[in-house]
């Protein structure tokens, strides 16, 4: 599960980087 979670986080980070406009979503992920 740890590897899957890590891969999911990396995938999510890549999406967030592409969508810099959605800062609200980034705040939700960090919180």
Number of continuous H segments (helices) and E segments (strands) in the chain: 2, 0
Give backbone dihedrals phi and psi of 22, rounded to 5 degrees, phi first: -90, 70
Rounded to an integer, what distance in angstroms lies between the CA atom of residue 1 and that of residue 14? 20
Give backbone dihedrals phi and psi of 20, rounded to 5 degrees, phi first: -65, -20
For residue 7, the model assigns a pLDDT of: 86
Alpha carbon distances (Å) from 8 to 14, 27:
10, 17
Q: So where are the chain's domains?
A: 1-31
Reading the block at residue 18, the tokens are: 């592409």
- Residue 24 banded pLDDT, cuts 50, 70, 90: low
pTM: 0.39
- Residue 3 banded pLDDT, cuts 50, 70, 90: confident
């Amino acid at each position: 599960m740890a590897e899957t979670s890590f891969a999911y986080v990396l995938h999510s980070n890549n999406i967030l980087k592409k969508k810099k406009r959605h800062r609200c979503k980034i705040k939700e992920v960090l919180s």
